[in-house]
Structure 1
């Protein structure tokens, strides 16, 4: 089957691209029965579309590369585009834009807009080759040809929703470098020293996490397998291996409680179960704060700089995104076209660009798709 453009994948970047291209110019090849499966589960089913604070500092990747697409199609331009489609995202947590009721709202817009293109659902791409000026896209059902191929296949996170490494395989087959991939925006498993965390499963507390030169603030959720929550997911973006430091008392001043007669577990601005678990772990008695000996106080103060070396992460099945991917120095940031193969494009998560929590990865998907559409 002959096409002008083939889009491999049916996620956020693929659907935005298909929506922006003129009618009958592209074919979408999607392995799932319907496109947009990952959109529906994102942001707790409400889809965190973008953020009022947008910039390269919220991404892991080459800032120079990321800047261009974000400039070409900013969060403001995205919101204006959605308004024209009669979608009015709501602002939550002061800076994050979500669908009003459900992620179905944005998916329905994409499905409506992308109907301009041909969709091949439940078709899995096996291989892409090029002979002369034509690309041959082999699937489990047929072979498609086109003058341009856009790899919008995403990463390895959410394998149950059809995620696969096909985008990386295609990139490598055309000589591209794939930066080592890993689960990101994901919880951490812990070493035996932190097994006591498991008894706190379901409890949440505000923290500040230091990972190398990066600082991530927000909630930490104790989970049966380790730790999760927004601050932890953000920290996973920057963690490779080794230690990180958690401040369990980010807005607390030790001087403000000097000489207090209150019980330690009542005094610390932590859920009581958390305070008591740490006291037990530290071998400290829950007593009036003023009765703490100097050595005991020193041990307690480690709550402000608690050192932890995760055993690993919860893996791709629980990761919101994949970090690593197609090396961006080998892709033109103006057009998203490969610098190594004319007519081959990469957009969205398959590239070595990963955003923090808060709508950054969707914005990247949409911005990179816009740059690609403009070029095509």
Structure 2
């Protein structure tokens, strides 16, 4: 297919959750979606263990790292029930912490998004890796029209050049290109490059919802690869209130992962965290003569490895000296300073991105009219639990409402 000589009302870069949901909510407009991969929604298919967690019953700004006021206003535009209604042909199971997973598969979620976007008239161009974006004069507007009540922005269009030499033109450009996580799924930094090319600021990016690698003191974690247990992680940093994350912790050959760790990674700013491996346990009146590895509500393998790390044998609690007991009690406040993270290749999302203070509440650039940024490309990142895909949908909904109104006004000028 070719887009030669056509000026689209709206062009969307990225056929992921945000881009497809936006296209699905635009009607009666000429819409094109450029996707660098040979197929759409690769990250959607991989999400939620192949079940795609589309939303959460309890969505609030507290579930996100980003500007609280901006996030709060955005979330007001889309309730979790509206997301479920959009996917009403599918069944969802509410499990874990009020998360909604597709009862069949993530492929079915993608299928609904693709059908809805195509029914709205959007054209998807695959294998279109965007190289650059520029603003040019609209060739359909005469010089006379330029002085006939039309603003400069209405006499200009965006020109998008792809790496294979294709050119696309549009009146409104929406960047829904995502972040840097999962490069194997086609991750790209093009969204950040476009923002910076128009003078916008981009916050430093980093892997998020990702496991931690360990320093020498925690090399014993690696010997527990495959072991999982429930724990509570506490984070505190300068000028930031303490945060706690409860859930499973999984030990791997690289370090430590699992839901509690992944959520902690979103807010971690280097330095030390505290892990309570026994969040609902008291050492008081622990008088049993049985060995510690038998008494503690922890995987025996974990307890033995922990004792080995502090050079203690597996005895009954009362057999330990007071100093040794103090070391054991650290199980409820184990200080841990990660060496780093597993990196973008293993991260579920990217934190950092296009600063939201560069946008108005309609997600439009303050520095370039008719240029929008939605979804993960922004400096807004959610915890595990359907929060990121919900924000992608919510940001797309805001832009769809804005563009519907703006294009109505645009038509009235002509």
By the TM > 0.5 criterion, same fold? yes
Stretch moving more, 66-75 or 164-173: 66-75
Aligned residues of 2:91 and 2:104 also touching (Cα < 8 A): no
2-side partners of 1:48 and 1:307: how far apart?
Answer: 32
Aligned residues of 2:208 and 2:266 also touching (Cα < 8 A): yes
Report the TM-score when normalising by structure 2. Answer: 0.88
1:136 aligns to 2:165 (yes or no) = no
Q: Which has the larger radius of gyration?
A: 2
Aligned residues of 1:205 and 1:219 also touching (Cα < 8 A): yes
* 2:257 aligns with one of 196, 217, 228: 228
- Counterpart secondary structure, 1:259: coil
2-side partners of 1:258 and 1:117: how far apart?
Answer: 66
1-side partners of 2:49 and 2:349: how far apart?
Answer: 15
1-side partners of 2:9 and 2:163: how far apart?
Answer: 21
Superposition pairs of residues 208-223 of structure 1, within 5 angstroms = 208-212=232-236, 213-223=242-252
Aligned residues of 1:157 and 1:317 also touching (Cα < 8 A): yes
Identify the residue that residue 115 of structure 2 maps to in structure 1: 112
Stretch moving more, 207-216 or 363-372: 207-216
Identify the residue that residue 267 of structure 2 maps to in structure 1: 238
Deviation at 1:94, TM superposition (A): 4.7
Identify the residue that residue 154 of structure 1 maps to in structure 2: 178
Aligned residues of 2:10 and 2:29 also touching (Cα < 8 A): no
Aligned residues of 2:210 and 2:341 also touching (Cα < 8 A): yes
2-side partners of 1:183 and 1:337: how far apart?
Answer: 26
Deviation at 1:293, TM superposition (A): 1.5
1-side partners of 2:308 and 2:216: how far apart?
Answer: 16
1-side partners of 2:220 and 2:191: how far apart?
Answer: 40
* 2:106 aligns with one of 103, 107, 115: 103
For residues 207-265 of structure 1, the C-alpha deviation after alignment (integer angstroms, 9 at most, x for no partner) is 1011111111100100011011000000100112111111111111111x432222111
Deviation at 1:24, TM superposition (A): 4.7
2-side partners of 1:89 and 1:68: how far apart?
Answer: 27
Aligned residues of 1:23 and 1:117 also touching (Cα < 8 A): no
For residues 247-301 of structure 1, the C-alpha deviation after alignment (integer angstroms, 9 at most, x for no partner) is 111111111x432222111111110000000011111111112222111110100
* 2:356 aligns with one of 328, 331, 335: 328
1:358 aligns to 2:404 (yes or no) = no
Identify the residue that residue 146 of structure 2 maps to in structure 1: none
1:175 aligns to 2:199 (yes or no) = yes
4+ aligned runs moved over 3 Å, structure 1:
none
Aligned residues of 1:24 and 1:118 also touching (Cα < 8 A): no
Deviation at 1:155, TM superposition (A): 0.2
1:202 aligns to 2:207 (yes or no) = no
Aligned residues: 372
1-side partners of 2:219 and 2:379: how far apart?
Answer: 34
Aligned residues of 1:69 and 1:370 also touching (Cα < 8 A): no
2-side partners of 1:332 and 1:358: how far apart?
Answer: 27
* 1:82 aligns with one of 69, 78, 87: 87
Identify the residue that residue 287 of structure 1 maps to in structure 2: 315
Deviation at 1:196, TM superposition (A): 1.3
2-side partners of 1:309 and 1:294: how far apart?
Answer: 26
2-side partners of 1:288 and 1:214: how far apart?
Answer: 34
1-side partners of 2:108 and 2:182: how far apart?
Answer: 21
1:337 aligns to 2:337 (yes or no) = no
Deviation at 1:92, TM superposition (A): 1.0
Identify the residue that residue 370 of structure 1 maps to in structure 2: 397
For residues 31-87 of structure 1, the C-alpha deviation after alignment (integer angstroms, 9 at most, x for no partner) is 00111000000010101111112100000000100111210112122122222xx12
* 1:50 aligns with one of 41, 52, 55: 55
Superposition pairs of residues 288-307 of structure 1, within 5 angstroms = 288-307=316-335
In structure 1, runs of 5+ residues without a counterpart are none
Deviation at 1:374, TM superposition (A): 0.5
2-side partners of 1:28 and 1:249: how far apart?
Answer: 50
2-side partners of 1:217 and 1:261: how far apart?
Answer: 31
- Counterpart secondary structure, 1:254: coil
